[in-house]
Amino acid sequence: MSDLDSDSIFVAAPPPPAVSVECLAQRGKDLVRSVRAAPEETAIAFTFNGITHAVMMATPADLDDFGVGFALTEGLIEKPADISSLEIIPTELGVEVRIWLPEDRGETYSARRRSMAGPTGCGLCGIESLSEAMRFAPAVPSAGVFERGDIVKAMASIQAGQTLNAQTHAVHAAAFWTPAGGLIALREDVGRHNALDKLAGALCRVGVCAGGGLVLLTSRVSIELIQKAARMGAPMIAAVSAPTAAAIRLAEDCGVTLIAVVRGADFEIFTHPERIVDRVIANVA
């Protein structure tokens, strides 16, 4: 079974993902009263078997996907069926995502937790061990090839799906695109890693394999995003912004094709260009 049983998920209404706020805006020579939408940023606590694992600031939307995706990309589960139950519990201070694991997965969690400390709100913050921060990323099989035009079409497809960003101009998106199906899923969050975790959970819950498509990011590419994408089995990542050097090294090592600085018809391929067909290699001074 690829998804959690519906009886195993309890979702209470979280806060809205965006709110209207008043501001003073300069328009020409005038200072006028204005209203804009601001993305909500809420403390999200992940608990596994009753023990708090991490607390991070995130957009309070798609939290069931977030819980599954976080557990997946942290290596605590391999599939949604590894979760016994999941509850979304709003409180006065934030939202608790309660995840219960069966006994065998609980042992995996206990071992994992011993190497972590406190909140991981920005992806790596609070991780105690340097080796944990640079943790292993699984090798990604060389699944399929893409045309150069696919990269351009894929990135152009995500704007229409960024409804929260259209309201707020302040959130990141992570999306999944395939040549046959187009835009399959898109998730948004104030945190770029949170958006990717939500996307991982959304795909995993409906049994979509990330190996057949392209992960799209509206952010820069840092090392933890490569780690998470590799755990998803995603062979290709394309991002609007540039990657870090550590992200490039890890993508090369684990077999991920990393494409970044995608602007209109232009982009740069940093690793494993063999997945891009009809390519032309030229030296640029």
> Closest Cα to residue 193, out of 163, 229, 159?
229
Give dist(CA 259, CA 240) in Å, integer: 9
Rounded to an integer, what is the distance from CA 92 to the centroid of its chain? 26
Determine the longest span between alpha carbons in the chain, in angstroms.
Answer: 66
Provide the 3-class DSSP secondary structure of residue 258: strand
> Closest Cα to residue 19, out of 195, 196, 199, 190?
190
How many C-beta neighbours within 10 Å does residue 219 have? 17
Which residue has 């992200």 as its token pair? 247
**Is 122 marked active-site?**
yes
Which residue has 């995500």 as its token pair? 158
The residue from 23, 122, 204, 254 that is catalytic is: 122
- Any residues with CB less than 8 A from the CB of 47 and at least 6 apart, and which? 53, 96, 97, 98, 99
Return left, alpha or beta for 219; rule: phi > 0 is left, psi -120 to 50 is alpha, else beta.
Answer: beta
In terms of Cβ atoms closer than 10 Å to its own Cβ (0-12, 13-18, 19+), residue 101 is buried
DSSP 221: B
In terms of Cβ atoms closer than 10 Å to its own Cβ (0-12, 13-18, 19+), residue 91 is exposed
Catalytic residues: 122
